[in-house]
Amino acid sequence: MNFITKISFLFVLLFASCHSSAQKNDDYKKSIDSILQNSNPKFNGVVLISQNGKALYSKAVGFSNFETKKPLKMDTQFEIMSNSKLIAATLLLLEVEKGKVDLNAPIKKYLPELTQTWADSVTVHQLLNHSHGIVDLQKPLDFKPGTQFKYGNLSFNLVAKIVAFSTKKSYREVAESLFKRLKMNHTLCYSENNAQNLATGYFNSKNGLEPITARQINDESLGADGIISTASDLAIWNNNLHKGKILKPESYKLLTQNTILSQHNFFGKEKDGYGYGIRVIENEPVKYLGHTGLGDGFSSVNLYFPQSDVSLIVMENQMPEDSNLFYASEFKIKNVLLKSSLLNKK
């Protein structure tokens, strides 16, 4: 075999290897395409997978509004519901960094209007990881603070109030100032007068799709479930938050450390760690961080895989009547990604 023949042969082998590798890397895309095409209930939303801040896979399927047949696009806004909690936790930790809030202080210090005696014992930390025991502002605690995990929105309504107390500004103003700094140009606190390009949320029942008219979010719940955003903006959020561009390293560690155990069907049957408005999943082959959101006819999933710097963001503007079908397509997409070469590079 002469020199030119050897070089040609090596080039063919290299090309074949690269082509095979590229095909393998694209396998997850074909699998996700199949999920979106064959889902039941029918998928209606957007999917974005990004790495190092660059989109690898993006797809919008279905309608923003079924009555007008307005199609969904990648820049369509969705209510992200409980994915709002991570934003509230981050804003509060920025106040901790300034020395204005102590995580171990009783919440009465920052919410003097609270009249229940438990306000002198429940700490800011316990609000952030749902171990506070508060079920109603006018009722006794459900359990001793710090001893159990009980998920709910009330604690993050209070987190937003602490942010407002500390900054002497409205929560809306503080949150939207951060969004502006990060160039999350399509993200804001929900307002009836500023819906911009917000999709209509639907309840998917046996009677068909029913548009949601009575929303659960309001000015009092912005910290818990009141943010509207796009898939691309949430990718910007992940790229900044998880790369130290918002919080100092010690604050980020507080945000994402396992402080209490909780179980959520989307993440598995076993209990996993919970930080501040974010779940810490260590029972899977690949460690990741993330949260879900559900309500007002919307669902959202935002996951971040630190080892490969990959984000998976899925949002829909429909909620199935059957709770067993919550996040049905999202769950399958997550599992495809967990097994993909994208997250399992050697």
pLDDT at residue 21 is higher than 50? no
Label residue 17 by pLDDT band (50, 70, 90).
very low
pLDDT of residue 66: 96
- pLDDT, mean of residues 187-194: 88
Overall average pLDDT of the 190-202 stretch: 86
Give residue 167's pLDDT band: very low, low, confident or very high (50, 70, 90): very high
Q: What is the mean pLDDT of the chain?
A: 92
pLDDT recorded at residue 5:
53
% of residues, the chain, pLDDT over 70? 92
Assigned token pair, 275? 């930080």
Looking at 25-39, 77-91, 193-207, 269-283, which range is the least confident one?
A: 193-207
CATH number for the segment(s) 39-58+76-339: 3.40.710.10
CA distance 315 to 301: 6
Give the pLDDT score at 243. 97
pLDDT at 195: 67
pLDDT digits (tens, 9 = 90+) for 286-326: 999 999 999 999 999 999 999 999 999 999 999 999 999 99
R_g of the chain, CA atoms, integer Å? 22
Q: What is the pLDDT of residues 25-72, one digit of tens each?
A: 568 999 999 999 999 889 999 999 999 989 999 999 999 999 999 999
108-164 pLDDT, tens digit each: 999 999 999 999 999 999 999 999 999 999 999 999 999 999 999 999 999 999 999
Which residues contact residue 117 at a Cβ distance below 8 angstroms, ignoring those fewer than 6 apart? none
- pLDDT at residue 236 tops 60: yes
- pLDDT at position 258 over 60: yes
Q: Which residues contact 309 (CB under 8 A, 6 or more apart)?
A: 51, 52, 242
Cβ atoms < 10 Å from Cβ of 118 = 19
In the block, residue with structure tokens 């023949």: 5
